[in-house]
Amino acid sequence: MGSDGAHFRFMAARTGGFTLLEVLIALLVITTGVLALAGTLGTSAALAANGRARGRVALVLESRMDRIRAELTGSAPACTPPASGTMRHGDGVVESWRATARTGWIDVEVAATPPRSGAFPDTLFSMLPCP
C-alpha cells in the first residue's frame, strides 16, 4: 500500500507463450533459410548433370582408346595406324579420333564432347608402341 492508502496493482509476469512479433521474426528467419536452400537446388542439379555427362565422356574416351589398341595389335607387325573417324552416340556425346605413325610409335588423339551446347571436349593423347 502507498502512503495515501491507494492500492497499486502490478502486472503479473508473463508465464508462457509468444508475442506476435516473436512469431513473425521466427517466420522470417525460417522463410529466408528455406529460400536459400531452394536456391542451391538448381545449382546442385546442374552440377550433378554435368558430372554424369563428363562421366559418360570418360567412358567413351576409354572405350575408343581400347579399340585403337586392339586394332593396333591386330595390325602387327606392320604398325599401321587405325583409320581416323567421328561418331555421334545416341546420348548426344560426339567423339573423334585420329592416329598417326612415327618410327616405332603410334600417336593417338581421342576427343569427346558432352551433349550440352557450348561444352568443351575432353581430349586424351597417348603414344602407343608398335607391336
The pLDDT profile of the chain, 131 residues, written as one tens digit per residue, is 555 556 666 665 666 788 999 999 999 999 999 999 888 888 898 889 888 989 999 999 999 999 998 988 887 667 888 899 999 999 999 999 999 998 889 999 999 999 877 788 999 999 999 87
State residue 33's pLDDT score.
93
> What was the pLDDT predicted at 40?
87
- Domain regions of the chain by residue span: 20-129
For the entire predicted model, the pTM comes to 0.68
What was the pLDDT predicted at 63? 95
**C-alpha span between 46 and 48 (Å, rounded):** 5
Separation of alpha carbons 88 and 111, rounded Å: 12
Residue 31 buriedness (CB in 10 A; 0-12 / 13-18 / 19+)? exposed
- Measured between alpha carbons, how far is 56 from 114 in angstroms, rounded to an integer? 8
Q: Is the peptide bond before 82 cis (omega within 30 degrees of 0)?
A: no
d(CA 1, CA 63): 96
Exposure of 80 by Cβ count < 10 A (0-12 exposed, 13-18 middle, 19+ buried)?
middle
Distance separating alpha carbons of residues 89 and 12, to the nearest angstrom: 78
pLDDT at 76: 64
Three-class secondary structure of residue 61 per DSSP: helix
Give the per-residue pLDDT at 29: 96
